[in-house]
């Protein structure tokens, strides 16, 4: 059984100690690697019983999670786990009970490769068809693997992958209905973000805010907002497109009541190795020496600055996949993001299961205060500990939030697999840690507020954990306030390390 530990600390972030092992190599690589394996079963509403604890009675709804579920075909492994075919996991909670369903997204690519029993398409992150560069040259098709996020919009569940359109699924059976144009909003082949943001109601009604990007020497960002409740759920409310100079790698963004905030990383893209079959498209990205990252601030159509052109400001050095949150404070926009010193990539000659963690850049949470009057930017780092997948209480999306929850490494500095969950008090640096080390590894934590509660940290964290000792997946329910364990649910199937998930409260 995994040894779990919880500790609360109030030191400054630079002096916080880990809850257990704190040294390079303090985990077993085989334990970590064993979490990457093909999912061989699809289940429907299988009852789950807690190994320990009890499911909170007020936790009522569905936790959907997306992530790669197939890594190998006919003895060939994907080059990068992000190239794995998307599989949706649904855990439904009702009356202190839980059931599990899972199903692969039936993209046309998945169906063709299932029938052939081998990889027929290249992956964006470096997976190649057999036959070397000659067999892959000039095949520039993108395989929509629908593996990054899953959200409900209206009566459809959407499996998202940001380089193409969403796949529509049945929210109950998880059956794939096919690519969705969202009632004609999207053109065939148009990109649709895999990282939407949910406005909790800053302008009287909740909305899903999202974007699509068409990148190149000039990049176009299409910003869209959809209704999420009532008979109009799924209806497009606002739509604008803006052009910016330079190549854009955009996975995430942030929102406030009046703004959307994008970070254009200082990145070069040389497509020639991709066209010649030598690399995946993402492997052709490199940090631009001497380049200048930019903040793109696009006004929301529902806000005070509706109709105005975007504002552009210089951004700090570094590379960002994910943002935590943003809010407005006088003449400033405050944005909290996870910064890497360099673009993290796995080169063609590397095996992701044996990569050298000591040479991989770590992500660290930082705050940027952007002065809208052009008086500069102030930055603040919250901790040296490697972190990812951070979120605030969804009711505080776009507003100042005191607390954040994130997945972190067990060691205090340097890159390492994510083995712990941290609650961070953004006002004073106090931290609370829950650890699955040395043999457990965590995925993205999802914060679910307690119904009717006004306290920002009153609710639960849902966390999928890979138990390296038992070679099994578990779902942890933690108290969001103190990270105390509420329940541990053993999964009847392997659920590999996922990407993003969502919560849909029961009606």
**Annotated binding-site positions:** 195, 251, 322, 500
What CA–CA distance (Å, rounded) separates 215 from 192?
A: 13
What CA–CA distance (Å, rounded) separates 158 from 177?
A: 10
DSSP calls for 108-148: HHHHHHHHHTS--S--TTS---TTHHHHHTT---------S
Q: Which residues face 156 on adjacent strands?
A: 153
* Binding-site residue set for Fe cation: 195, 251, 322, 500
Tally DSSP H helices, then E strands, for the chain: 4, 36
Query: Dihedral of the CA atoms 4, 394, 60, 488 (nearest 10)?
Result: -10
Residue 473 burial (CB < 10 Å; 0-12/13-18/19+)?
buried
CA angle 66, 368, 332 (to 5 degrees): 115
Q: Residue 377 has which token pair?
A: 């930017």
Q: What sign does the dihedral 475-480-484-486 (CA atoms) show?
A: negative
Question: For 300-335, b where at least 16 C-beta lie within 10 A, e where not — what string?
Answer: bebbebeeeebbebebeebbbbbbbbbbbeeebbbb
Q: Residue 147 has which token pair?
A: 């593996």
Q: Residue 165 has which token pair?
A: 């359109």
What CA–CA distance (Å, rounded) separates 448 from 87?
A: 22
What CA–CA distance (Å, rounded) separates 212 from 166?
A: 11
Cβ distance 348 to 278 under 8 Å? yes
Q: Residue 392 has which token pair?
A: 């605030």
What CA–CA distance (Å, rounded) separates 268 from 282?
A: 11
Q: What sign does the dihedral 122-126-128-131 (CA atoms) show?
A: positive
């Amino acid at each position: 059984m995994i040894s779990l530990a919880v500790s609360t600390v109030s030191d400054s972030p630079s002096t916080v100690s880990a809850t257990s092992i704190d040294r390079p190599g303090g985990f077993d690589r085989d334990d970590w690697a064993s979490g990457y394996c093909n999912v061989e079963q699809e289940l429907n509403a299988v009852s789950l019983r807690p190994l320990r604890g009890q499911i909170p009675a007020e936790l009522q709804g569905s936790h959907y999670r997306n992530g790669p579920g197939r890594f190998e075909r006919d003895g060939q492994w994907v080059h990068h786990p992000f190239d794995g075919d998307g599989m949706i996991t649904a855990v439904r909670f009702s009356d202190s009970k839980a059931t599990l369903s899972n199903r692969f997204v039936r993209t046309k690519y998945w169906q063709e490769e299932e029938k052939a029993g081998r990889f027929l398409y290249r992956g964006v992150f470096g997976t190649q068809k057999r036959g070397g560069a000659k067999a892959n040259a000039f095949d520039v098709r993108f395989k929509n693997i629908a593996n990054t996020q899953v959200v409900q919009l209206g009566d459809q569940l959407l499996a998202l992958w940001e380089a193409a359109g969403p796949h529509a699924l049945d929210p109950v059976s998880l059956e794939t209905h096919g690519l969705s144009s969202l009632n004609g909003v999207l053109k065939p082949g148009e990109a649709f973000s895999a990282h939407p943001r949910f406005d909790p109601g800053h302008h009287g009604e909740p909305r899903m805010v999202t974007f699509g990007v068409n990148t190149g020497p000039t990049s176009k960002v299409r910003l869209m907002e959809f209704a999420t409740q009532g008979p109009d759920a799924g209806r497009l409310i606002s739509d604008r497109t803006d052009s910016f100079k330079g190549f854009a790698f955009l996975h995430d963004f942030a929102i406030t009541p009046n703004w959307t905030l994008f970070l254009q990383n200082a990145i070069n893209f040389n497509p020639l190795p991709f066209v010649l079959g030598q690399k995946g498209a993402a492997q052709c990205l490199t940090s631009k020496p001497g380049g200048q990252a930019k903040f793109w601030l696009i006004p929301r159509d529902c806000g005070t600055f509706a109709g105005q052109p975007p504002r552009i400001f210089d951004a700090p050095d570094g590379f960002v996949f994910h943002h935590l949150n943003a809010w407005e404070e006088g003449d400033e926009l405050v944005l909290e993001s996870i910064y890497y010193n360099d673009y993290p990539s796995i080169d063609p000659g590397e095996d992701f299961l044996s990569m050298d963690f000591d040479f991989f850049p770590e992500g660290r949470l930082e705050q940027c205060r952007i002065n809208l009057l052009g008086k500069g930017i102030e930055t603040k780092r919250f901790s040296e500990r490697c972190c990812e997948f951070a979120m605030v209480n969804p009711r505080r999306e776009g507003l100042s939030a005191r607390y954040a929850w994130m997945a972190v490494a067990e060691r205090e500095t340097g890159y390492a697999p994510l083995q712990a969950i941290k609650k961070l008090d953004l006002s004073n640096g106090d931290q609370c840690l829950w650890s699955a080390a040395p043999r457990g590894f965590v995925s993205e934590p999802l914060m679910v507020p307690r119904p009717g509660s006004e306290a920002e940290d009153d609710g639960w964290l849902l966390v999928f954990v890979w138990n390296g000792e038992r070679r099994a997946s578990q779902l942890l329910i933690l108290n969001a306030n103190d990270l105390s364990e509420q329940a541990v649910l053993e999964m009847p199937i392997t659920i590999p390390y996922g990407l993003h998930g969502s919560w849909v409260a029961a009606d």
